[in-house]
Amino acid sequence: MSGNKELSNLYKLQDPTKQYPRPKFKHQPQGVPGLDRKMQPLADHGETSYKGSGRLPNRKALVTGGDSGIGRAAAIAFAREGADVAINYLPSEEGDAQEVIALIEKEGRKAIAIPGDISSEAFCKQMVKRAHKALGGLDILACVAGKQHAVEKIADVTTQQLEQTYRVNVFALFWTVKAALPLMPPGGSIITTASIQATHPSPSLLDYAPTKAAILAFTRALARQVAEDGIRVNCVAPGPVWTPLQTSGGQPDKKIPAFGSETPMKRPGQPVEMSPLYVLLASQESSYVTGEVYGATGGLEVG
């Protein structure tokens, strides 16, 4: 549990439309992959706002994309709830990742750093084995890492970009889950990460949106396949969330100043607003929930 005894803004009754920054934001293009520390304003991943309540006692979690954005928020929340956590990230994201490692260790939990590129099948297998060995088990797998690069015209989507987007978003999910399942005990939980793009695709995300639709189908099919083994599989489908994925090419730069304004709440979500869903789906509290998709979109429809 977190040592912070003060009630954070995350738990005070308040108007959710005004809880976090609203557009207009600055133009702030970053190279790929983006870094959290360069976001303006900085995103809230729960560093000081998320409080744990012992919902994941001594659980063993692997989070892909755990250095930044939604993955960072999930990793922090898992640790605050009592889990040991391994995070995967690209080597160029080491600075962000070490901040997360320090936050996990501050909670008295084991933190394992596993840098590497999940577009490699061999690395995905190695990552799962390393996490399982270092944590002393594996009962939570949160696949959050993703690749998103906006391109205005189909003519400008290269075969290289198409293949890389599918390798990171779909193939890596398949490889990682395939390696993890034989190591997970009954009661284990797999959480995938789709997007509102799966059902309401933006024209500039012609390669990314179909990968998120594939994740929905994969989640529902796998959930039925492994239910009798006592493994649950569910999905979180965010709407626009303030992460480096957006400012490093995930959105056209011209759209960043108004990012999130299209939602009924008139703002983007913050990563910490996604983490309670990951915690719920990882915990035994959701023992009768599998094959489901949980949206967090600021009021936009997922289905």
Copy the structure tokens of residue 4. 């912070």
Place of tokens 């011209």: 254
Predicted pLDDT at 12: 87
Q: Tell me which residue of 102, 119, 53, 109 sits closest to 85, measured CA to CA.
A: 109
Which domains does the chain show, CATH number per domain? 57-296 (3.40.50.720)
Residue positions annotated with a catalytic role: 208
Q: Is the dihedral of CA 200, 202, 207, 208 positive or negative?
A: negative
Query: What does pTM read for this prediction?
Result: 0.93
Report how far residue 188's alpha carbon sits from residue 116's, in angstroms, rounded to the nearest whole number: 24
Start-to-end Cα distance in the chain: 35
- pLDDT for 2 equals 36
The DSSP secondary structure of 40-105, one letter per residue, reads: SSPP--STTT----SSSTT-EEEEETTTSHHHHHHHHHHHHTT-EEEEEE-GGGHHHHHHHHHHHH
Pairwise CA distance, residues 159 & 44, whole Å: 35
Tens of pLDDT along the chain (303 residues) come to 333 334 457 888 999 999 999 999 988 787 777 777 888 889 999 999 999 999 999 999 999 999 999 999 999 999 999 999 999 999 999 999 999 999 999 999 999 999 999 999 999 999 999 999 999 999 999 999 999 999 999 999 999 999 999 999 999 999 999 999 999 999 999 999 999 999 999 999 999 999 999 999 999 999 999 999 999 999 999 999 999 878 887 788 888 899 999 999 999 999 999 999 999 999 999 999 999 999 999 998 776
CA distances from 156 to 150, 160, 206 (A): 10, 11, 11
Q: Is 53 exposed, middle or buried (0-12, 13-18, 19+ CB in 10 A)?
A: exposed
Give the model's pLDDT for residue 303. 62
